[in-house]
Amino acid sequence: MYSWFILSILGMCFMVPLHFLSVEHLKFQKKYGADKGNKITGILGLTSGWGFFIFWFGIWISPQSRLVIPFMQNPSIIIPIINFSIPIFHLLISVPFILIGAWFGIVSVRETSLKVAETHRTEKIVTTKIYSLIRHPQYFGGLMAHIGISFLLSSLLSLIFTPLVILLNFLVAWKEEKELIKEFGENYKNYKKKVPMFVPKFKKRK
């Protein structure tokens, strides 16, 4: 029953080292030249990025024990085609998380472009709009969506493994920042001092 879930967890973990390689732009440029180095990291970025998401999706939908909140399983919505029920209470919990996650993800991609999101390579440090509130809005949005979708689908193991999902996203963000400091130096260090990593800052400092 849990083989699909375990495969998805292992797949996400395996994508992290690939992501580490995908952001080592200077290393690959030095070894293979700018054009070839960027192509290699671009391919690694696409592979690790989409692979990470696909395995993450697998965690949500894989067969697993259902989350049961006593006395709050009825009423529920039945999806006839797949004969799946969604308790109204779970739906009410999940919608805010999913909407917040989607908003952070969409706004961040619009600010940096889909190409940067896919290849993990940027030409400049973006510090405006959403990036003035949080350094990694896409990952924060993904974590919000993870919690929401887990509740929506009553995916118990998905919720239980949320700390691991947070850790994997943190490792990816940590590696990205390490490479960004190599590329942009003090500019990125100053940006780090002003803007939090994963928790949005909604009040401007005086």
Compute the mean pLDDT over every residue in the chain, rounded to the nearest whole number: 90
Q: CB atoms < 10 A from the CB of 116, how many?
A: 17
Do 53 and 16 form a contact (C-beta atoms < 8 A)? Answer: no
pLDDT of residue 172: 95
For residue 64, name the pLDDT band (cuts at 50, 70, 90): very high
Q: What is the mean pLDDT of residues 95-105?
A: 95
Query: What gap in Å lies between CA 170 and CA 145, rounded to an integer?
Result: 16
Query: What gap in Å lies between CA 106 and CA 114, rounded to an integer?
Result: 10
Q: What is the mean pLDDT of residues 189-198?
A: 92
Q: What is the mean pLDDT of residues 102-122?
A: 85
pLDDT of residue 196: 94
pLDDT of residue 122: 83
Domain chopping of the chain, boundaries: 3-194
Model confidence over 113-158: pLDDT tens digits? Answer: 877 777 778 888 888 889 999 999 999 999 999 999 999 999 999 9
Model confidence over 79-95: pLDDT tens digits? Answer: 766 667 888 889 999 99
Question: By three-state DSSP, how is residue 125 classified?
Answer: coil
Q: CB atoms < 10 A from the CB of 82, how many?
A: 6
Average the pLDDT over each of 23-27, 61-65, 87-91, 115-119 and give the range with the smallest value: 115-119
Amino acid 49 reads: G
- Compute CA distances 107 → 44, 49, 112, whole Å: 24, 18, 9
Query: What gap in Å lies between CA 126 and CA 11, rounded to an integer?
Result: 30
Residue of 97 and 77 predicted with greater confidence: 97
Task: Considering the domain delimited by 3-194, tell me its CATH architecture.
Answer: Up-down Bundle (1.20)
Tell me if the pTM is above 0.85: yes
- Compute CA distances 141 → 47, 112, 138, 154, 166, whole Å: 20, 15, 5, 20, 11
Model confidence over 150-187: pLDDT tens digits? Answer: 999 999 999 999 999 999 999 999 999 999 999 999 99
Query: What gap in Å lies between CA 79 and CA 154, rounded to an integer?
Result: 14
Tokens linked to 190: 């100053």
DSSP secondary structure letter of residue 71: T
Which percentage of the chain shows pLDDT scores above 90? 71
